[in-house]
């Protein structure tokens, strides 16, 4: 295996595990680098960071949330909105490791080739997003935060797992046996939120169809395969908002046809 | 209507309306399940929250489940074990799915670890969402934090299982109380059974008790005979019908009552009591 074929994968795992590690150290040993969890945290003991979706849900219950949470959600939205795109999903979210493992096993066990195809819409996440806000308003409690496997896994590492850990196994099995990339690519409303936030971000994968040999390795590994519609046809940026900037396609491409670039808005 | 044997044509208009019905139906189904589960996932009313927590309803709206309060509680200097130099098990825990408390929200169980009522109240000062409201523990005159203003719950004594009420000498809760002689007082009573001993009965003052649970933690009986309950559970409410006529403050409490709120109007009250005697009306 060449380094250039796993570069971004290794970077991503390093970043994901670092986040969990720093959160855990923040709790167990009081490190001031990163405290709290992905719902809301304090960076370097000063800068507030908050999950924009959790914040929206709290606001939709009709409660006026503290200024630190609002500022934190703003900072996160600006960062991903301008720079990162949907990078939260592939570079930070710990559930990505669970669902990536399921997707990898699917390829190794050739499950895609033998299973009965179950089709569900990739737009479910946006319905879930709206539903999360409506249900929060009705029930007076941030609705997705009660069932979110993201925070369950995150808190599991930082504060100890409970029975909620079973939900992660369920999602793993769902992704493995029911729908390919089922959770992250179809259902998760936080993924929907980050898709919307990161729609116009400047860091994007760009495709050079002159170099492309149509090997389709990129489409094999892409968790949001619709975003690669231009492969072998047009040289352009992967501009659909669902792209998680995971860089897996850049990794597997042996022909230098896919790379990260800063999006140029003016040329179009 | 399509006739038998004729293929039904799916026009774009038909597709449009069917799609809308399909999406709306699925969303309603999911929403109902989800809303039902969310209601079910609310905490048991016996949950004890961190100091300065808002009323449970508002607390659940605001808490973002970040765990900063639990971390502050775990890493406060006073939680370091002097022997090992490591933090001990801390008061505040983050609820897991099996705790019967809304998942990811902070709570504590005094019988395991009580709240030590820190002067600097680190759990409250760190809360980013203001679900723990610092104004509830800030003295309005001095502007300083005052741990005596905490109200996590109220200690309740089960006089049947409290051995001090039996006449056996025990003042564990009284000694453990951080507000000794205020929140827990000892009431002296003559022990008629022996004729020469005294009862030293612990009595909790609802005005001073913060619900920290030091007493519950210290209680020597197998299952604590003094325990903390949320105030909503532990206290009754006399309503506006009853007033302490000798107490100015209590009169202010019911100052705004209106006649219709304190006069009973039901099927029974429509009849006059005399009629029961004079006309033998059944109630």
Residues of chain B with C-beta less than 8 angstroms from the C-beta of A35: 68, 71
d(CA B153, CA B206) in angstroms, rounded, equals 9
- Using pLDDT thresholds of 50, 70 and 90, give the confidence band for residue A161: confident
Please provide the CATH number assigned to the domain covering A203-262: 3.30.70.20
Tokens of B106: 């902070």
CA angle (B87, B43, A39) in 5-degree steps:
60
Q: Is residue B39 part of a domain?
A: no
Please name the residue of chain A whose CA is at the shortest distance from the CA of residue B54. Answer: A63
Report the SS3 class of residue B156: strand
**Closest Cα of chain A to B38: distance in Å?**
6
Tokens of B216: 């519950």
**Closest Cα of chain B to A176: distance in Å?**
23
Please report, rounded to a whole number, the percentage of residues in chain A having pLDDT higher than 90. Answer: 50
Same domain, B60 and B99: yes
Same domain, B94 and B143: yes
Residues of chain A with C-beta less than 8 angstroms from the C-beta of B64: 39-40, 50-51, 54-55, 58, 65, 69, 142, 145
Please check whether residue B75 touches A, CB under 8 A: yes
Same domain, B139 and B49: yes
Look at A135 and B68 and tell me if their CB atoms are within 8 Å.
no
Report the SS3 class of residue B94: strand
d(CA B208, CA B158) in angstroms, rounded, equals 19
Look at B66 and A30 and tell me if their CB atoms are within 8 Å.
no
**Closest Cα of chain A to B23: distance in Å?**
9
Domain ranges of chain A: 3-197, 203-262
Helix ranges (DSSP H) in chain B: 12-40, 56-62, 68-75, 122-125, 163-166, 172-176, 214-218, 231-234, 248-253, 259-262, 273-278
Question: Which pLDDT score is estimated for A268?
Answer: 47
Number of domain units in chain B: 3
Question: Which pLDDT score is estimated for B193?
Answer: 92
CB-based burial label for B142 (10 Å; 0-12, 13-18, 19+): exposed
Average pLDDT over residues A183-209: 92
Residue entry with tokens 């709790």: A27
Same domain, B184 and B271: no
Q: Is residue B8 part of a domain?
A: no
Task: Give the domain CATH number at B198.
Answer: 3.30.70.20
Question: Which pLDDT score is estimated for B4?
Answer: 63
Please check whether residue B52 touches A, CB under 8 A: no
Q: Is residue B26 part of a domain?
A: no
Q: What DSSP line would sit under B175-205, residue for residue?
A: HH-TTBTTTEEEEEEEETTTSSEEEEEEEE-
Average pLDDT over residues A227-235: 87
Average pLDDT over residues A11-18: 94
Note the Cα B169 to chain centre separation in Å. Answer: 31
Q: Is residue B191 part of a domain?
A: yes
The pLDDT of residue A266 is above 70: no
pLDDT, one tens digit per residue, over A93-148 is 999 999 999 999 988 888 877 767 788 888 889 999 999 999 999 988 999 999 99
What is the domain range of residue B124? 44-150
Q: Strand B226-229 vs strand A258-262: parallel, antiparallel, or unpaired?
A: unpaired
**Closest partner CB to A61 (pick from B27, B31, B61):** B61
Question: Which pLDDT score is estimated for B209?
Answer: 95
Q: Is residue B206 part of a domain?
A: yes
Question: Which pLDDT score is estimated for A97?
Answer: 93
Q: Is residue B94 part of a domain?
A: yes
Same domain, B166 and B231: yes
Q: Strand A34-37 vs strand A40-43: parallel, antiparallel, or unpaired?
A: antiparallel
Same domain, B69 and B108: yes
Question: Which pLDDT score is estimated for B44?
Answer: 84
Same domain, B189 and B243: no
Same domain, B96 and B123: yes
The pLDDT of residue A61 is above 60: yes
- Dihedral of CA B44/B45/B47/B52: which sign? positive
Q: Which mean pLDDT values do the consecutive 10-residue runs of chain B (283 residues) have? A: 67 88 89 88 88 92 93 90 86 90 93 94 93 92 91 94 94 94 94 92 94 95 95 89 88 83 77 76 67
d(CA A13, CA A2) in angstroms, rounded, equals 17
d(CA B245, CA B248) in angstroms, rounded, equals 8
d(CA B280, CA B267) in angstroms, rounded, equals 17
Report the SS3 class of residue B5: coil
Ramachandran assignment for B5, one of left (phi > 0), alpha (psi -120 to 50 degrees), beta (any other): left
Nearest residue to A153 (alpha-carbon basis) of A183, A178, A194: A183
Q: What is the DSSP letter of A103?
A: H
What Cα–Cα distance (Å) separates residue A26 from each residue in B34, B45, B60?
33, 31, 24
Tokens of A43: 């960076």
């Amino acid at each position: 295996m060449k380094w250039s074929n796993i570069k971004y994968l290794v970077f991503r795992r390093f970043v994901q595990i670092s986040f969990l590690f720093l959160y855990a150290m923040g709790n167990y040993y009081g490190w001031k680098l990163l405290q709290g969890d992905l719902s809301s945290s304090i960076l370097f003991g000063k800068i507030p960071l908050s999950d924009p979706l959790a914040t929206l849900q709290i606001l939709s219950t009709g409660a006026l949330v503290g200024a630190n949470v609002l500022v934190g959600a703003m900072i996160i939205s600006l960062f991903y909105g301008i720079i990162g795109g949907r990078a939260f999903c592939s570079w930070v979210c710990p559930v990505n490791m669970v669902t990536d493992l399921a997707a990898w096993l699917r390829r190794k066990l050739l499950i895609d080739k033998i299973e009965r195809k179950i089709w569900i819409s990739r737009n479910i996440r946006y319905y879930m997003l709206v539903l999360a806000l409506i249900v929060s308003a009705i029930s007076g409690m941030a609705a997705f935060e009660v069932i979110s496997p993201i925070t369950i896994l995150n808190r599991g590492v930082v504060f100890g797992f409970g029975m909620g850990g079973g939900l992660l196994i369920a999602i793993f099995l769902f992704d493995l046996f029911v729908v390919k990339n089922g959770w992250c690519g179809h259902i998760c409303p936080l993924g929907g939120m980050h898709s919307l936030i990161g729609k116009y971000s400047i860091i994007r994968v760009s495709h050079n169809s002159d170099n492309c040999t149509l090997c389709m390795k990129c489409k094999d590994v892409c968790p949001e395969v619709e975003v690669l519609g231009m492969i072998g046809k047009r040289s352009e940026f992967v501009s659909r908002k669902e792209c998680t900037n995971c860089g897996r396609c850049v990794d597997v491409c042996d022909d230098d046809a896919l790379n990260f670039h800063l999006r140029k808005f003016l040329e179009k | 209507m399509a006739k038998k044997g004729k293929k039904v044509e799916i026009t774009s208009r038909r597709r449009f309306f069917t799609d809308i019905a399909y999406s709306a139906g699925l969303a309603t189904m999911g929403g109902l399940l989800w809303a039902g589960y969310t209601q079910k996932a609310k905490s048991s009313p016996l949950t004890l929250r961190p100091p300065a927590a808002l009323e449970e309803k508002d607390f659940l709206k605001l808490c973002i489940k970040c765990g900063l309060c639990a971390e502050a509680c775990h890493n406060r200097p006073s939680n370091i074990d002097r022997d090992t130099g490591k933090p001990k098990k801390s008061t505040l825990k983050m609820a897991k799915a099996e705790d019967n408390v809304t998942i990811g929200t902070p709570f504590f169980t005094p019988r395991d670890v009580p709240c030590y009522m820190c002067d600097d109240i680190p759990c409250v000062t760190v809360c980013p969402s203001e679900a723990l409201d610092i104004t509830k523990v800030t003295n309005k005159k001095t502007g300083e934090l005052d741990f005596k203003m905490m109200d996590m719950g109220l200690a309740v004594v089960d006089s049947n299982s409290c051995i001090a009420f039996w006449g056996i000498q025990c003042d564990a809760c009284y000694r453990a109380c951080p507000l000794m002689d205020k929140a827990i007082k000892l009431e002296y009573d003559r022990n008629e059974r022996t004729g020469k001993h005294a009862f030293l009965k612990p009595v909790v003052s609802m005005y001073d008790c913060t619900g920290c649970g030091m007493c519950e933690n210290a209680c020597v009986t197998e299952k604590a005979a003094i325990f903390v309950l949320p105030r909503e559970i532990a206290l009754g409410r006399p309503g506006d019908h009853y007033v302490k006529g000798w107490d100015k403050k209590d009169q202010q409490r019911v100052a705004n009552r209106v006649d219709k709120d304190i006069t009973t109007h039901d099927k029974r009250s429509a009849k006059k009591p005399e009629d029961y005697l004079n006309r033998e009306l059944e109630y």
